[in-house]
A and B are shown apart, each in its own frame.
Chain A
Amino acid sequence: MADTAPSRVVSINLCTDQLAMMLAAPGQLVSVSRLAADPHSSAMAQEARAFPANHGRAEEIYLLKPDLVLAGRYSARATVNMLRRVGLRVELFDTATSLTDTRDRIAQMARVLGRDAEGAALIADFDMRLATLDAPESGRRAALYHPNGYSLGGGTLADDILRAGGFGNVARDLGQTGGGTLALEQLVMAAPDLLIRAEALPGASRSEDVMAHPSLERLAASTAGLRITSPDWICGTPHVLGAVATVARAREGLK
Chain B
Amino acid sequence: MKPLALGLGVLVAALFLASLVIGPAGINAVEGLRALVTGGDGPVPLVMREIRLPRALLGLMIGASLGLSGAAMQGYLRNPLAEPGLIGVSGSAALGAVLAIHTGLAATLSLALPLAALAGAGTGVLLILMLAGPRGGAITLILAGIAISALAGALTSLVLNLSPNPYAASEIVFWMMGSLADRSMTHVWLALPLMLGGGAALLSLGRGLDALTLGEDAAEAMGLRLARLRLSLVLGTAAMVGAAVAVAGAIGFVGLVVPHLLRPLVGARPSRLLWASALGGAAMLLAADLAVRLILPERDLKLGVLTAIVGAPLFLHLIYKTRGAQA
Contacts and interface: CB of A to CB of B under 8 A. Distances in A.
Q: Do chains A and B touch in the complex (CB under 8 A)?
A: yes
B174 interface: yes
Interface string A192-219: 0000000001111111111001110011
Interface in B37-60: 43-44, 46-47, 50-52
Contacts, number: 94
B131 to A, nearest CB: 30
A100 interface: no
Interface in A124-180: 147-149, 176, 180
Nearest to A201: B165
A215 B49 CA distance: 9
Contact of B171 (A188, A207, A215): A207
B25 A205 contact: no
Interface-centre pick from A180, A207, A213, A215 (highest chain B CB count, 10 A): A215
A206 B171 contact: yes
A188 B164 contact: no
A208 B47 contact: no
B5 to A, nearest CB: 33
B51 A207 contact: no
User: Would you call the interface of chain B mostly helix, strand, loop, or mixed?
Assistant: helix
Contacts of A21: none
Interface residues of A, number: 29
A205 B167 contact: yes
Interface stretch (B98-106, B147-155, B211-219, B233-241): B98-106
A214 B298 contact: no
A148 B298 CA distance: 11
B171 A205 contact: yes
A218 B50 contact: yes
Given A149-B300, A188-B46, A189-B47, A202 B165 contact: yes
Contact of B23 (A185, A201, A210, A215): A185
Contacts of A186: 24-25
A185 B25 contact: yes
B186 interface: yes
A102 B292 CA distance: 38
A37 to B, nearest CB: 15
B184 A183 contact: no
B163 interface: yes
A89 interface: no
A228 interface: no
Contacts of B166: 40, 201
Interface in B136-192: 163-168, 170-171, 174-175, 181-182, 184-186
Interface string B18-34: 00000111010000000
Contacts of A215: 46-47, 50-51, 184
A118 B89 CA distance: 62
A181 B25 CA distance: 14
Secondary structure of the A contact surface, majority rule: helix
Nearest to A38: B166
A181 B181 CA distance: 11
Nearest to B42: A191
A203 B164 contact: yes
B51 A204 contact: no
B170 A207 contact: yes
B299 interface: yes
B7 interface: no
Contacts of B185: 214
Contacts of A148: 167, 300
Nearest to B97: A206
B297 interface: yes
Nearest to B101: A204
A209 to B, nearest CB: 7
A5 interface: no
A184 B43 contact: no
Contacts of A207: 167-168, 170-171
A191 B299 CA distance: 22
Contact of A183 (B24, B104, B167): B24
B52 A201 contact: no
B154 to A, nearest CB: 19
A201 B297 contact: no
B107 interface: yes
A204 B107 contact: yes
Nearest to A176: B298
Interface of A: 40, 147-149, 176, 180-181, 183-186, 188-189, 191, 201-210, 213-215, 218-219
9 contacts: A40-B166, A183-B23, A183-B297, A188-B51, A189-B44, A201-B166, A202-B165, A204-B102, A214-B50
Minimum-distance CB pairs A-B, first 3: A203-B165, A207-B167, A215-B50
